[in-house]
Amino acid sequence: MTEEVAAAKAAAAEYKSSDKDGAGPATVFDNILSGEWGSTKVHEDDVSLAFRDINPQAPVHVVVIPKHRDGLTKLSNAREDQKDILGHLMYVAQLVGKKECPEGFRVVVNDGEHGAQSVYHLHLHVLGGRQMGWPPG
């Protein structure tokens, strides 16, 4: 089992055992958003933050998150009234991708334990700076 899969399994267990209000437990992203932990910001606006991943999986690896989780612990929890924020996150991902990876990029969303999600605060990974392979995973 890889470190990422082990981290995802541990995060899923913590998420499942949280208080079941849909918010999930506090995450590292809460610490970044509060300013308690630093990050290398790439983009920020009223509703989103994009920053460099501390464990990059490609030469360019940027994480895009909503500033207010509002139950968006994972993509499969998205509600119809959250379509605007989902679209905004994709728009920010393409802004970052075009700027940082002019030859092309990949956007990844990990969802749940089998999707290897290790942080239960919806986030998009923008990966690039090299040729991506297929199939992923």
Question: What positions carry a catalytic annotation?
Answer: 123
Residue 27: exposed, middle, or buried by beta-carbon count in 10 A (0-12, 13-18, 19+)?
buried
- Distance, in Å, from the CA atom of 129 to the CA atom of 62, rounded to the nearest integer, reads 11
- Distance, in Å, from the CA atom of 41 to the CA atom of 63, rounded to the nearest integer, reads 10
